[in-house]
């Protein structure tokens, strides 16, 4: 009678580029009785720390080749990972070939996102991770150093990983592989020598997003919501500092993004105006107040004056450090979010007295290449609408040219109108929005809403329309409100009627040749 077989020690395969925390993990596994197998570089590190480890080549008897391109691509490795322990035939295959099962794979890849190129495309790592994730019924897989301590704790407590843990790790591993492949596809898409680079809309889009922030709720309290970030990419929200207030909701974040982008769109990025103190007030995704002034306190007061009723419970964004002169009056107005590049200490202390005010400090936003919206079965995709007030491409179509003051207001109103929901009319005077008509089904009504809100403050100011006036009635409304200069794309079959109407009222009108609908 043969003696009973000696239970084999569990075996871990370690092959990592990012070696953070790997020594602690390896030491912990050895203390638990695990046997370690590792690739060359990882073996050198671990053995240098006095940790018992077997190099991969010692069990494959196949030295690395092709300058390291082939290391772990071997039946001894993948057979040990992929074997179904419940299948006697597969286990006999291992026995016949003297292959030991592998119970845990620890791997991460060459850093393609930070060092893209052909030689940074990892082959062996993704193959091992995919194999282990497929066979998660028997094999654990670790791709994130942040998980090492938790996994060690579970092994110390229970001697093995639970089915739930292995499944969770497998999902994370497949997501890790997917994000890696997506980064490679994006690299190919960005190759300037490729025919694919001609069309900004590629044959396919591969999104890899990770949940990084849970939000209080969605558009309504019964909806759950979170912010996701593109894997490997950091935006202004990732570095933003919250100085006070409640957690952000979906709409808080959505509206703050709109305000933050607009306040910077009115700066030097438009290519014409100098970067000056600017304030924006947003409500339900649309600005209800915008102004440029000599200092940030005056800018906010002027922006608030545009529509104080709508500003109640709104979002405020400024492109300058918040001063006490701004903080004191703002604290008296119910505001959901204030976002700025910085705060004077006394101003921040004063604002923190408002328990419900979310006080954010953020870096300037960036602009994505593509705009995506969900529809049934997929996405609508378009290039991002970049707005630059390039007056060299604009055409004065009326008898009268705009004055210098009118030109300044026309540029300002045009940049604001491009960030307001269509149909849009913006009335501005002295680079202050005095009336904004947003999201109307016809242009005349948009003009009337703007005129009603302006309440006489548009006299001698400018009007911006995000699309052409299809009839003269819309122009007549803004003329009656006091606007003396108009900027619009042009392109209507009745342009001549609208131009004639402007000439009759001694208005200056400029065509941009470019529409900025926003839905």
Active site residues: 134, 284
318 close to 263: Cβ distance less than 8 angstroms: yes
Which is nearest to 511 in space by CA: 427, 416, 410?
Answer: 410
Q: Which run of H or E residues covers position 416?
A: helix 404-417
314 close to 335: Cβ distance less than 8 angstroms: yes
Rounded to whole angstroms, the Cα distance separating 107 from 366 reads 33
Rounded to whole angstroms, the Cα distance separating 300 from 316 reads 8
Helix (H, G, I), strand (E, B) or coil at 313: coil
List of residues 6+ apart from 305 with CB closer than 8 A:
289, 291, 432
- Beta strands 370-375; 378-383: pairing state: antiparallel
List of residues 6+ apart from 471 with CB closer than 8 A:
443, 444, 494, 497, 498
292 close to 266: Cβ distance less than 8 angstroms: yes
Rounded to whole angstroms, the Cα distance separating 279 from 298 reads 9
Rounded to whole angstroms, the Cα distance separating 167 from 198 reads 42
265-291 burial, b at 16+ Cβ within 10 Å, e below that, comes to bbbebbeebeebbbbbbbbbbbbbbbb
Rounded to whole angstroms, the Cα distance separating 218 from 332 reads 27
Strand partners, 104: 12, 140
Q: How many angstroms separate the first and last alpha carbons of the chain?
A: 81
The CA-atom distances, in angstroms, between 424 and each of 191, 207, 376, 445 are 39, 33, 28, 9
Q: Whose structure tokens read 């018992």? A: 52
What are phi and psi for residue 43, nearest 5 degrees? -60, -45
439 close to 445: Cβ distance less than 8 angstroms: no
What are phi and psi for residue 65, nearest 5 degrees? -140, 170
CA atoms within 13 A on the CB side of 117: 4
Rounded to whole angstroms, the Cα distance separating 276 from 420 reads 21
Q: Which run of H or E residues covers position 61?
A: none
Q: Which run of H or E residues covers position 462?
A: strand 462-465
Judging by beta carbons within 10 Å of its beta carbon (0-12, 13-18, 19+), is residue 413 exposed, middle or buried? Answer: buried
Q: Which run of H or E residues covers position 87?
A: none
Rounded to whole angstroms, the Cα distance separating 487 from 495 reads 13
């Amino acid at each position: 009678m043969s003696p009973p077989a000696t239970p084999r020690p569990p075996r871990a395969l370690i092959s990592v580029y990012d070696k953070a925390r790997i020594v602690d993990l390896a030491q912990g596994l050895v203390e638990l009785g695990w046997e370690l197998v590792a690739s060359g570089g990882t073996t050198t590190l671990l053995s240098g720390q006095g940790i018992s480890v077997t190099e991969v080549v010692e069990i494959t008897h196949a030295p690395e080749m092709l300058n390291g391109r082939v290391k772990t691509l071997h039946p001894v490795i993948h057979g040990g990972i992929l074997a179904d322990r419940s299948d006697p035939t597969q286990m006999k295959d291992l026995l016949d070939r003297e292959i030991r099962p592998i119970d845990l794979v620890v791997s991460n890849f060459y850093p393609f996102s930070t060092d893209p190129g052909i030689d940074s495309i990892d082959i062996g790592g993704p193959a091992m991770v995919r194999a282990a994730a497929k066979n998660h019924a028997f094999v654990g897989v670790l791709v994130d150093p942040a998980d090492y301590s938790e996994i060690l704790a579970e092994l110390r407590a229970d001697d093995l990983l639970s089915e739930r843990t292995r499944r969770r790790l497998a999902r994370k591993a497949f997501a890790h592989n997917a994000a890696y492949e997506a980064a490679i596809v994006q690299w190919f898409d960005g190759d300037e020598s490729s025919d694919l680079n001609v069309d900004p809309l590629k044959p396919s889009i591969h999104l890899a997003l990770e949940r990084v922030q849970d939000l209080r709720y969605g558009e309504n309290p019964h909806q759950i919501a979170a912010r996701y970030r593109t894997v490997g990419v950091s935006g202004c929200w990732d570095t933003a500092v919250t100085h006070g207030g409640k957690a952000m909701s979906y709409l808080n974040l959505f509206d703050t993004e709109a305000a933050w982008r607009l306040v910077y769109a009115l700066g030097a990025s438009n290519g014409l105006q100098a970067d000056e103190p600017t304030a924006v007030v947003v409500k339900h995704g649309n600005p209800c107040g915008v102004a440029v002034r000599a200092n940030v306190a005056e800018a906010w007061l002027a922006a608030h004056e545009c529509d104080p009723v709508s500003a109640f419970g709104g979002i405020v964004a400024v492109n300058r450090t918040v001063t006490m002169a701004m903080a004191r009056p703002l604290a008296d107005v119910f505001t959901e979010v204030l976002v700025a590049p910085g705060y004077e200490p006394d101003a921040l202390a004063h604002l923190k007295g408002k328990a419900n005010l979310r006080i954010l400090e953020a870096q300037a936003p960036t602009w994505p290449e593509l705009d995506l919206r969900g529809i049934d079965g997929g996405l609508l995709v378009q290039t991002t609408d970049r707005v630059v007030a390039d007056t060299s491409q604009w055409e004065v179509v009326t008898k009268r040219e705009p004055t210098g003051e009118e030109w300044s207001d026309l540029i300002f109103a045009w940049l604001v109108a491009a960030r307001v929901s269509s149909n849009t009319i913006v009335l501005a005077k002295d680079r202050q929005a005095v009336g904004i008509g947003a999201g109307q089904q016809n242009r005349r009504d948009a003009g009337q809403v703007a005129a009603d809100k302006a309440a006489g403050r548009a006299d001698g100011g400018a009007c911006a329309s995000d699309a052409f006036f299809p009839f003269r009635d819309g122009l007549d409304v803004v003329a009656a409100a006091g606007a003396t200069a108009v900027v619009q794309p042009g392109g209507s079959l009745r342009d001549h009627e609208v131009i004639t109407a402007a000439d009759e009222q001694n208005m200056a009108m400029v065509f941009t040749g470019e529409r900025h609908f926003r839905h």
